[in-house]
Amino acid sequence: MKLHRLLVLAVLAYAVPAVASDLSVTQSNQTFSSAVMTVHAGDKVSFHNNDTVTHNITVKSASGDADDLGLQKPGGVVSYQFESKGAYRVVCSIHPRMKMMVNAE
Ligand SMILES: [Cu+2]
């Protein structure tokens, strides 16, 4: 009985996506270090350009709003606060292959 309850808890813990505790994302080799990240609504995520080329962060909400954070030179860090719950697409407008998802819950 007790073991059964532990197993259920273990399965639940595995199924629910963990909210990230390290709220930083690295851009290197024109790739984001995370493909999907789960945060709390209101969390601020920092994006670190560890590449030798300029990047951009554009955050697109499910409703179609887009926040363009401008050009981000090598070594630069920009931050974005995901204020509302929802799924966001984060892209680099310079390198179309660079994309990730942020789920704010
Ligand atoms: Cu880029």
- Compute the distance from residue 96 Cα to the ligand 1 centre, in Å: 8
Q: Are strands 31-32 and 24-28 parallel, antiparallel or unpaired?
A: antiparallel
For residue 7, is it within any domain?
no
- Compute the distance from residue 5 Cα to the ligand 1 centre, in Å: 47
Confidence (pLDDT) at 18:
85
pTM over 0.85: no
Question: What CATH code is carried by the domain that includes residue 80?
Answer: 2.60.40.420
- Compute the distance from residue 14 Cα to the ligand 1 centre, in Å: 32
Q: How far apart are CA 98 and CA 101, in angstroms?
A: 11
Q: What is the 3-state secondary structure (H, E, C) of the chain?
A: CHHHHHHHHHHHHHHCCCCCCCCEEEEECCEECCCEEEECCCCEEEEEECCCCCEEEEEEECCCCEEEEEEECCCCEEEEECCCCEEEEEECCCCCCCEEEEEEC
- Compute the distance from residue 105 Cα to the ligand 1 centre, in Å: 27
For residue 4, is it within any domain?
no
For residue 69, is it within any domain?
yes
Confidence (pLDDT) at 12:
54
Which residue segment(s) compose the domain that 73 sits in? 18-104
The total number of structural domains that make up the chain = 1
- Compute the distance from residue 57 Cα to the ligand 1 centre, in Å: 8
Reported as a pLDDT band with limits 50, 70 and 90, residue 14 is low
Reported as a pLDDT band with limits 50, 70 and 90, residue 15 is low
- Compute the distance from residue 58 Cα to the ligand 1 centre, in Å: 10
pLDDT single digits (tens) 71-96: 999 999 999 999 999 999 999 999 99
Q: Does residue 23 or residue 21 have the better pLDDT? A: 23
- Compute the distance from residue 99 Cα to the ligand 1 centre, in Å: 9
